[in-house]
Amino acid sequence: MTPNEPEFKALMMASLEGDATAHRALLQRLSQRLRAYYKGRLARIERSATEAEDLVQEALIAIHVQRHTYDPAEPLTPWVHAIARYKLIDHLRRTRASMADVPLEDAGQVLAQDDYVSAESAYDLHRLLKQLPEKMRRTIQYVKLDGLSVAEAASRCGMSESAVKVNVHRGLKALVALIALEKRP
């Protein structure tokens, strides 16, 4: 258990209630910890550290899209750790590296050190978005990039509000799938 667990968990609980500020703060703090984790893991198996930022972003999208799978009765750290580790193993498998070298580590390690730089991945969001089906692309553009409310986006797209929400969620999951496809050697 890390000393930040109570703080992170409080942010997560607020984020699950729909608090955007808490959600943003949580993702920001987790991104620093994830970056340190992936840099450490990749260095240990002699992989390039430039892949670390790709993984940080994949893990952040996964944490966002899968946040409904967090059980508030449990601590947050092991949940984040399990996602981070799953994404690392999946990445190594897709890029055909041996994953026998990924040791089971203590859950505390994922959130162990701090390492902040304003970092950038190899992914081009706009190019990825263009590959999405029209409905998903437009709803993500309106709701997640232009900052329109769900109601405004619904009237612009001629959809119901729940259809907009569904398309945003599916679109983000589809982005993850597109990123995975790009990794095929």
Partner 1 sequence: MKTDHLIAMLSMNVEPVYRRQVIRTLSAAVAVGAVVAVGIMLFTLGVRMDLKEPGVFSFLASKLIFTLGIVIATSIYLIKLARPSIEQSAPAALATFPFVAIMGLAAISLSSAPISHWNRLIVGNQWLECLISIPVIAIVPFAVIIWALRKTAPTDLVRTGAIAGLFAGGVSATAYALHCIDDSLPFVAVWYGGTIVLCAFFGAKLGPRLLRW
Q: Which residues bind partner 1 (CB under 8 A)?
A: 15-21, 23-24, 27-28, 31, 53, 56-57, 60-62, 64, 66-72, 78-79, 81-83, 85-86, 90, 104, 107, 118-121, 123-125, 143-145, 147, 149-150, 165, 172-173, 176, 180
Q: Which is nearer to partner 1, 46 or 184 (CB)?
A: 184
Q: Which is nearer to partner 1, 117 or 158 (CB)?
A: 117
Q: Of 109, 37, 41, 102, which Cα lies nearest the Cα of 78?
A: 109
Kind and range of the H or E element at 89?
Answer: helix 76-94
Distance in Å, CB of 135 to partner 1, minimum:
17
- Residue 61's contacts (CB-CB under 8 Å, 6 or more residues apart) are 172, 175, 176
Distance in Å, CB of 36 to partner 1, minimum:
13
CA–CA distance, 125 with 84 (Å, rounded to integer): 21
Q: Which is nearer to partner 1, 46 or 88 (CB)?
A: 88
Q: Which is nearer to partner 1, 46 or 48 (CB)?
A: 48
CA–CA distance, 74 with 141 (Å, rounded to integer): 34
Distance in Å, CB of 44 to partner 1, minimum:
18
Q: How far, rounded to the nearest angstrom, does the alpha carbon of residue 15 sit from its chain's CA centroid?
A: 14
Q: How many CB atoms lie within 10 A of CB 57?
A: 21
Q: Which is nearer to partner 1, 28 or 113 (CB)?
A: 28
Distance in Å, CB of 172 to partner 1, minimum:
8
How far is the CA of 158 from the CAs of 101, 128, 147, 150, in angstroms? 50, 24, 17, 12
Distance in Å, CB of 134 to partner 1, minimum:
19
